[in-house]
A and B are shown apart, each in its own frame.
Chain A
Amino acid sequence: MNASTTAKLQDIFRAVFELMPEANVTGISQTSQQSWDSLAHVLLVAAIESEFGITLDAADQLRMPSFEATQLLLEEKGL
């Protein structure tokens, strides 16, 4: 994943979880981020699909418990 795509993914996480612009999101996960509930997960998936023009099915969505895992999933999809 190139730097531009990584930066966009970080911006998406900050926007969805309403974090400050300078917040470091690379370490957050469903267990560390209290606001990461099922609704936030739906919004996160939609944000990624919208921004990168891809579709994430139910199996993909289960593989996104953290920023790091999400980044890995997107890399597998060629981003």
Chain B
Amino acid sequence: MNFLDAHKIVAGFKGGAPLRFLLATSGTPDKLDLFLRAAAANRGFLAHVRTLPFGTLGQTLRIAPVADEIEVFCLFPWDFIPEADWRSGVPSTSADEEALRSHALATAEHIAHRRLARVLYVAAPIPPLLTNPTDGANLERWLGSVIQSIGARLLPAETFSLASYLANGSPFAGTLLGQLAEAVIDRAISAPPEPKKVLVTDLDNVMWSGVIGEDGVEGIHFTPEGVGYRFFLYQTLLAKLQREGAILAAVSRNDEDLALAPFRAGGMTLVENDFVSIVASYNAKSAQIAEIASRLNLGLDAFVFVDDNPIELAEVSSSLPTVRCVQFPPNDEGIPRLFAELSELFARATVTGEDRERTAMYRRRLEGMAPSEAQGADLTTFLQDLGMTLTLHDRTTGDRARAVQLINKTNQFNLNGRRVSDEEVGAVLASGGRLYGASLADRSGSHGEILACLIDEDRVVRSLVMSCRVFQRRVEHAFFAWLATQNSPPAALDFAETERNEPMRQFFRDAAFQENGLISFDPARFAEDHRDDMSLFAVHEERSNQESGTRD
């Protein structure tokens, strides 16, 4: 979108729903105004953009946001490291790298605490600040990972124009104003970030005061007195978050028996079973976290890592940039802020029974997880031995809260990534659609309701999601084989590729699916091809009129 296109769009726009937000940037934003209004108009919105006076971003970050105001931050390296601002010239002395990093982390933390903040980051070049150019390059890379860890979307370096910045204080390249405005509006209308799922915590000097390998069980402190008090408080916060659906895990550079000793000695608020996994090894913390993510089959962007050691945080931040890294404070004064940040990251509008049971369910999943080398016949035997029961729920009438929740929080096995309101689901059902759910249990216990499928009156599947904690169990195949034998099975699926739904794409490689706009579905062929998958489950049908039946 060039200038004259933008002008024409705005001139011809008849008006739409108001889109109010703050565009927070340290430079002069005036020349973006027309492009923002055009980008909003293209999406049917009438933009009302509040901007900041030149050079007041730092002050803004230190005062509370305006209530319920969406904030789109468009940031540059010098917003985190003021010494890197081209308009100030190259510093006369080589900068203190530790001080630069500390200031950058503090700024990132200020932004992370703002509930409705969405961040765009332009990785513009910076002047040389450090004596060694290699250190400078490392600093830039580190800064990029810190900024990504607060959920920033990166924009190309060409979005910055030094000529414009020097001439009039506007850092934005005139040639890319259209693309920049599109990105800003995308962020302004994007859904708020999803709550994090997994809190990975360090142990020594985070879970307790002291180093277990040196001080022993008798020498560490975690009770509500003296030096142990804030560690006791931290454990009570983690217990609360776990009750509300957060999954706890721990990593420690230690021997396993040492790391587990305080839990097994008793007396702590948290016990071993409150954690889905406690990984103790001498591998890098990033490798330990990656192993947990792999075993839980969860994306790293769902992870928060808490450690007291800035070096460990930097290592994780650098290797796993989408993990949100949070420092455990070195003194009591930092505790309220830490608690506020973690509570915000894991905030949920409602807490369901599924949320409360999540850690236990994931523990069962790890216990029942197929060895990675299991293939073919071995995998089938493994699955058969699990003694799985699949319960199909007809949610067309009655309670559908869990099904709607699943549709709105599942990313990987998700047909199209579209979120739906309860009212929208109700409208599909009122028009003759159907809603199914499925629960899974096995010899280790219940995994809860793990699948939801919304089919409209034209037999098109509009939503299909399955929890990633039951991957590799052929649940989706069994469900579709069952669906294929129902009256009026679906004829097609409304698929859309998203950044995260690769498992869905893999599922559609089955020969019964053909892509022709929608994904067409051949029920007879699928049912025939997947009889073996059905045989892995005892299938129990729970109909909406409370009738039920079982078949093996």
Tell me the A residues contacting B by CB distance below 8 Å: 8, 11-12, 15, 38-39, 42-43, 45-51, 53-58, 61
Majority-rule SS of B interface residues: helix
Is the Cβ of A46 less than 8 Å from the Cβ of B167? no
Inter-chain contacts of B417 with A (CB < 8 A): none
State in angstroms the CA–CA spacing of A14 and B54 once bound together: 28
Is the Cβ of B7 less than 8 Å from the Cβ of A15? yes
Inter-chain contacts of A15 with B (CB < 8 A): 3-4, 7
26 contacts between A and B (CB under 8 A): A11-B4, A12-B3, A12-B4, A39-B30, A42-B30, A42-B31, A43-B34, A45-B164, A45-B167, A46-B172, A46-B174, A47-B3, A47-B174, A48-B3, A48-B174, A49-B173, A49-B175, A49-B177, A50-B174, A51-B4, A55-B163, A56-B167, A56-B174, A57-B166, A58-B166, A61-B168
Chain B residues within 8 Å of chain A by Cβ, number:
23
Answer whether residue B288 sits at the interface, using C-beta atoms and an 8 A cutoff: no
A15-B4, A42-B28, A42-B30 known; A50+B177 contact, CB < 8 A: yes
Inter-chain contacts of B168 with A (CB < 8 A): 38, 42, 45, 61
Inter-chain contacts of B163 with A (CB < 8 A): 55-58
Q: Given A15-B7, A55-B164, output 13 extra A-B contacts at Cβ < 8 Å.
A: A15-B3, A15-B4, A43-B31, A45-B168, A45-B174, A46-B3, A46-B170, A49-B164, A50-B178, A51-B4, A56-B167, A57-B166, A58-B166
The distance from the CB of A22 to the nearest CB of chain B, in whole angstroms, is 15
A53-B175, A58-B163 known; A42+B170 contact, CB < 8 A: yes
Inter-chain contacts of B439 with A (CB < 8 A): none
Answer whether residue B2 sits at the interface, using C-beta atoms and an 8 A cutoff: yes
Inter-chain contacts of A55 with B (CB < 8 A): 161, 163-164, 173-175
A46-B174, A49-B175, A50-B174 known; A57+B4 contact, CB < 8 A: no
Inter-chain contacts of B177 with A (CB < 8 A): 46, 49-50
State in angstroms the CA–CA spacing of A75 and B470 once bound together: 65
The distance from the CB of B51 to the nearest CB of chain A, in whole angstroms, is 13
In B35-60, the 8 Å CB interface with A consists of 35
State in angstroms the CA–CA spacing of A55 and B173 once bound together: 8
In B160-189, the 8 Å CB interface with A consists of 161, 163-164, 166-168, 170, 172-175, 177-178
The distance from the CB of B9 to the nearest CB of chain A, in whole angstroms, is 12
Tell me the B residues contacting A by CB distance below 8 Å: 2-4, 6-7, 28, 30-31, 34-35, 161, 163-164, 166-168, 170, 172-175, 177-178
Inter-chain contacts of B174 with A (CB < 8 A): 45-50, 55-56
Inter-chain contacts of B166 with A (CB < 8 A): 57-58
Q: Which residue of A lies closest to B6 (CB)?
A: A50
Is the Cβ of A57 less than 8 Å from the Cβ of B175? no
The distance from the CB of A64 to the nearest CB of chain B, in whole angstroms, is 11
Is the Cβ of A58 less than 8 Å from the Cβ of B161? no
State in angstroms the CA–CA spacing of A42 and B175 once bound together: 14
The distance from the CB of A31 to the nearest CB of chain B, in whole angstroms, is 20
State in angstroms the CA–CA spacing of A15 and B173 once bound together: 20
Q: Which of A11, A15, A49 has the most CB of B within 10 A?
A: A49
Q: Which residue of B lies closest to A43 (CB)?
A: B31
The distance from the CB of B154 to the nearest CB of chain A, in whole angstroms, is 22
State in angstroms the CA–CA spacing of A50 and B178 once bound together: 8
Inter-chain contacts of A54 with B (CB < 8 A): 175
Inter-chain contacts of B173 with A (CB < 8 A): 49, 55
Residue in A8, A46, A51, A58 whose CB lies within 8 Å of B31 = A46
Residue in A8, A39, A50, A61 whose CB lies within 8 Å of B175 = A50
State in angstroms the CA–CA spacing of A49 and B34 once bound together: 14
A43-B30, A46-B174 known; A61+B3 contact, CB < 8 A: no
Inter-chain contacts of A39 with B (CB < 8 A): 30
State in angstroms the CA–CA spacing of A8 and B2 once bound together: 11
The distance from the CB of A70 to the nearest CB of chain B, in whole angstroms, is 14
The distance from the CB of A18 to the nearest CB of chain B, in whole angstroms, is 10
The distance from the CB of A36 to the nearest CB of chain B, in whole angstroms, is 15
The distance from the CB of A3 to the nearest CB of chain B, in whole angstroms, is 16
State in angstroms the CA–CA spacing of A38 and B173 once bound together: 18
